[in-house]
Amino acid sequence: MSEPYAVEAMPRAVSVARICMWVQAVMGLVGLFLLFVLLGSVPAGPASGAVLAALAVPLLTILLIGFLALRISTRRSWVRACGLVVEFLVTLLGLWQLLGSVSLGNVLGVLLAGVAFGQLCRSPSATWFDR
């Protein structure tokens, strides 16, 4: 008879990064939803298509972060690599935005992205993503 194989627990660094990524995705979706509601009250004009196209980039970024957070449990190395790249770029963008104006949303976004990036850089995270 075969024995059940042992399931390795997710390291704390990986679970913290995953939680930060989920919080980023949820906050981003709520923010974009509120922005769409606000833009819905503006009369349609020639610039409305350009505004919607400009909002596609943050939407894709938010969906990518959520997708990567969902795929962390697969332990694939490409998930960690993509997560590192995306979180590094989000951190840089957030720091650049902080130069212009400081707000709670900007600071929270930079902190979440920075923590996720830092946790994915740790050696337990590198060991976890072995497939």
114 is a domain residue: yes
40 is a domain residue: no
**How high is the pLDDT of residue 1?**
56
17 is a domain residue: no
Residue 105 lies in domain? 75-131
127 is a domain residue: yes
103 is a domain residue: yes
pTM of this prediction?
0.86
93 is a domain residue: yes
**How high is the pLDDT of residue 111?**
96
Nearest to 25 by CA among 17, 121, 118, 99: 17
Q: For the chain, how many structural domains are there in total? A: 1
As a whole number of angstroms, the distance between CA 77 and CA 130 comes to 6
120 is a domain residue: yes
13 is a domain residue: no
Assess whether pLDDT exceeds 90 at residue 25: yes
Give per-residue pLDDT as tens, 65-120.
Answer: 999 999 999 999 999 999 999 999 999 999 999 999 888 888 999 999 999 999 99
